Structure 1
Amino acid sequence: MRGCALTLALTGGIILCSCAPRTALEHGNDTLHPSKLSYPELKWDVPLGKPYRTTLDNGLRLYIAEDKSLPLVRFRAYLKAGEMMDPVGKEGLSALACRLIRTGGTDSIPADTLDERLERYAISLSVSSSESELVVDASFLSEFSDTALAIMEQVLFHPAFEPDRVEREKRILLQSIRHRFDEPGPTLSGAFVKTMYPAQSNSRMATEKSVANITREDLIAFHRRIFGTGNMIAAIAGDFDRSTMVQKLGALFPTSRSQDTTGLEFAAVSIAPRNKCLIVHKPISQAYVRMGLPFIKRPHPDYYPMSVLNEVLGGGGFTSRLAKTVRSDEGLTYSIYSRAQSEYRKPGTIYI
């Protein structure tokens, strides 16, 4: 028994010794200080857009790329619109319209049937809204491409806005508005935007009253104004033949919806001219603080240098200066970071 115990002890010692790390002296010259590391030159040419870009007869500006590595197809389209275009008193129109374009049925497919078909063919299809754009996103198996494209054409260009679905989506949106500021994070973000962009189109928020003012006729008018191939830039990539896909999209998406978009303009946005401190009291045990300054508007020659600056300051996670010093070294906070937000539609902000 004592022999067995000795054997086990020696074996354990061998295992431990074999797993012990090598010391710095044992490494010798194998280990370099990070400042002395060198890497081979990165040689990568940015793909040119021209070979992938085409404009269809129906006015659709399309970027298309074959990729047969997987039997999948991905489609995305951007439309010039968004919450900044919502009429005063009907804030929430674009968000509600996008939800209903997807969920409200089409002229030929009832809403319940549409949901069932998307599920049956494993088609992912969404329509979403942000401040300054609408995004259509779809992905599907290449073997169901014809079915998916036919459904997309119906959803995007022939939505029914079924009355019962309109009321349901309005109730869902109202519920989210009622609980919008339950958590301190969204409260902080909303207060910051209101402070930096006072009385501007991008700082107006949907309310229970504004959503109640939206009618089905408003949704139909919104769709008629926004959803045309002339107001759309699309990209599609995946397992297909390029020329065949171009023909399919040209035939499916209606030329009649290639309307003039000169009237679709965003209101000019200005930023707060003076310093201001806003305090929102909430019964919680910790403080959420945001300090910000006006930032550049794109395009701007300093955008990329400033983006690198932000990465070093606080945008780079645990390796950034703010996280390393304030969180890791001093232990004063759990979360600290910086953001440099710059857009084409309005002046940006940089904040901690």
Structure 2
Amino acid sequence: MKRFNYLLLLTLLVLTACRGGKPPAVPPTEPAPLTRPDQVATPPLVFKVPVVETLRLPNGIRLYLKEDHELPLVEVTVMIGAGDIGDAAAKVGQGDLFAATLRSGGAGKRAPAEVDELLEQLAADFSVGMDSYATTLSLSLQSADLETGMALLADFLRRPAFAGERLELARRQQLEGVRRQNDEPQAIAARALAKAIYGDHPLGRSPTEATLTAVNRDDLLDFHGRYFHPDNTWLAISGDFDRIRLLTLLLDTLGDWPTVTFVPQPLPAVTAPARPVLLLADRDLPQSVIQFGQLGIDKSAPDLEAVRVMNYILGGGGFNSRL
């Protein structure tokens, strides 16, 4: 009985403590005034531009070297000064087929499968891309494999095979992309806008089944023969390497690449549209896309980089949604 009374008393005390008194009302406080974005105090931005060594091989290849021994990796980027702006009107899409087949079609004495196997053994990442004005080859690998990697890269630059079966595979992939090009409203709008701004200029063209089918292996060989030359090559290497050993390696693999007289790829002049136009591409899709544009500044304009920074800030840097 005493124990029951003790538990009852303890329960009443706990309940009484839990009830407590009502806390005093707190008067609302005024929110802190907002600061204008242009008045926000920020520390000064300090950016130290890395020092890059620039030099040229005797045959004209431009070199950009930056040693960095933090990780046992080397990044190699090669740029050739020619892109798909040179695609003939009847063979639009040739540039994409060239890049895909250069990457996958074998090089030197190695068949396509042998190249793939070697890259896998090296755990190396190799890619080829082409935009309107340049072709880019990128190689990332361990520094211990640099000698093997550079020998393979030299074969891609000088002796690509463009295996026929890999060209056909790339063609089928590109044709499938053309067949699906109207599935995405963003792609539809982009093609229509480019056509409206550039008209019949190469920058306004899009590949079709007919133009892709018209490309053959000889076209790829011709493009390579025209523009893959030392005087039209820029080579940037960064990472864990020894400068003297690297220069010796470059001379061994690329030093005997003969210099020839070549004609730089012509760049057709762009003419502004005669008048503004409004285009409607009506498609049975659940989304709508609105795009507008006009010709920007010339690529040789002195404030090109400033305009690119402005474009990045205003949304061109990937921040494209408020959600």
Q: Could you say which TM-score interval applies, normalised by the shorter chain? A: 0.7 to 0.9
1:151 aligns with 2:152: yes
Q: Which residue of 1 aligns with 2:140?
A: 139
CA offsets 1:9-48 (integer angstroms, 9 cap, x no match): x9xxxxxxxxxxxx989xx9xx988665434444445445
Q: Which residue of 2 aligns with 1:224?
A: 225
Q: Which residue of 1 aligns with 2:215?
A: 214
Gaps of 5+ in 2: 1-6, 18-27
Counting aligned pairs with the same residue, the percent is 30
Question: Whole-Å Cα distance in 2 between the matches of residues 35 and 207 of structure 1?
Answer: 49
CA offsets 1:151-198 (integer angstroms, 9 cap, x no match): 111122111122222222221221112212221111111111000111
Q: Which residue of 2 aligns with 1:244?
A: 245
1:301, CA displacement in angstroms?
4.8
1:293, CA displacement in angstroms?
2.8
Instruction: Evaluate the alpha carbon distance shift between residue 156 and residue 309 of structure 1 in structure 2; reply closer, same or farther with a 3 A threshold.
Output: closer
Q: Which residue of 2 aligns with 1:60?
A: 61
Which range moved further: 40-49 or 269-278? Answer: 40-49
Instruction: Evaluate the alpha carbon distance shift between residue 156 and residue 310 of structure 1 in structure 2; reply closer, same or farther with a 3 A threshold.
Output: closer
Q: Which residue of 2 aligns with 1:119?
A: 120
Q: Which residue of 2 aligns with 1:342?
A: none
SS at match of 2:223: helix
Instruction: Evaluate the alpha carbon distance shift between residue 37 and residue 218 of structure 1 in structure 2; reply closer, same or farther with a 3 A threshold.
Output: closer
Q: Which residue of 1 aligns with 2:110?
A: 109
Match for 1:38: what amino acid?
A
1:224, CA displacement in angstroms?
1.4
Question: Whole-Å Cα distance in 2 between the matches of residues 54 and 276 of structure 1?
Answer: 48
RMSD between superposed Cα atoms in Å: 3.2
SS at match of 2:275: coil
Question: Whole-Å Cα distance in 2 between the matches of residues 230 and 46 of structure 1?
Answer: 27
1:283 aligns with 2:284: yes
1:99 aligns with 2:103: no
More relative contact order, 1 or 2 (CA 8 Å, 6+ apart)? 2
Match for 2:182: what amino acid?
F
CA offsets 1:319-338 (integer angstroms, 9 cap, x no match): x9xx6xxx5xxxxxx6xxxx
Q: TM-score, normalised by structure 2?
A: 0.83
Instruction: Evaluate the alpha carbon distance shift between residue 88 and residue 65 of structure 1 in structure 2; reply closer, same or farther with a 3 A threshold.
Output: same
Instruction: Evaluate the alpha carbon distance shift between residue 275 and residue 147 of structure 1 in structure 2; reply closer, same or farther with a 3 A threshold.
Output: same
Instruction: Evaluate the alpha carbon distance shift between residue 309 and residue 34 of structure 1 in structure 2; reply closer, same or farther with a 3 A threshold.
Output: closer
1:215, CA displacement in angstroms?
1.5
Match for 1:98: what amino acid?
A
Question: Whole-Å Cα distance in 2 between the matches of residues 65 and 189 of structure 1?
Answer: 38
Q: Which residue of 2 aligns with 1:177?
A: 178
Q: TM-score, normalised by structure 1?
A: 0.76
1:106, CA displacement in angstroms?
2.0
Question: Whole-Å Cα distance in 1 between the matches of residues 79 and 29 of structure 2?
Answer: 55
1:77 aligns with 2:78: yes
Larger Rg: 2
* Contact 2:58 2:255 (C-alpha < 8 Å) held by counterparts: no
Q: Which residue of 2 aligns with 1:194?
A: 195
